[in-house]
Amino acid sequence: EVQLVESGGGLAQPGRSLRLSCAGSGFSFDDYAMHWVRQAPGKGLEWVSGISWDSDNIGYADSVKGRFTISRDNAKSSLFLQMNSLRTDDTALYYCAKDRSSEPYDAFDLWGQGTMVTVSS
């Protein structure tokens, strides 16, 4: 089955860190760029970060630049998001999404179900 499964979400205090993971299966993970997209409760979609198939091309939203780091391990078909210096406005459901292309960027044709991150003291 073609799918993406996120994990690693939870409750964190402001200023702390969390590391999200996304496991891909059913497709050639290393052929595609990958992304993280988040959705705050009751709000719209916000692109967080994207990474090319070979990790050579990486982009971030201004709201997370310098605090979040995207990475991937193609041997393990996995995508990661290291989130440091968390803020209350980082509270959201974080989706992993597959790009239609190997290089940034194209539309996102496969999404996971998301992992919830709550930042609160």
Partner 1 sequence: EIVLTQSPGTLSLSPGERVTFSCRASQTIISSYLAWYQQKPGQAPKLLIYGASSRATGIPDRFSGSGSGTDFTLTISRLEPEDFAVYYCQQYGSSPLTFGGGTKVEIK
Judged by the rule CB under 8 A, the positions of this chain that interact with partner 1 are 35, 37, 44-47, 50, 59-62, 95, 100, 104-109, 111-114
DSSP 87-104: -GGG-EEEEEEEESSSSS
Q: Cβ 13 to partner 1, closest distance in Å?
A: 27
Three-class SS of 46-99: EEEEEECCCCCCEEECCCCCCCEEEEEEHHHCEEEEEECCCCHHHCEEEEEEEE
Q: Cβ 6 to partner 1, closest distance in Å?
A: 10
Q: Cβ 117 to partner 1, closest distance in Å?
A: 16
Cα 67 to Cα 83, 87, 106, 112: the distances in Å are 6, 10, 25, 23
DSSP bridge partners of 5: 23
Q: Which is nearer to partner 1, 16 or 87 (CB)?
A: 87
Q: Which is nearer to partner 1, 59 or 77 (CB)?
A: 59
Q: Which is nearer to partner 1, 62 or 121 (CB)?
A: 62
- Which amino acid would we find at residue 100? R
Q: Which is nearer to partner 1, 59 or 74 (CB)?
A: 59
Q: Cβ 63 to partner 1, closest distance in Å?
A: 9
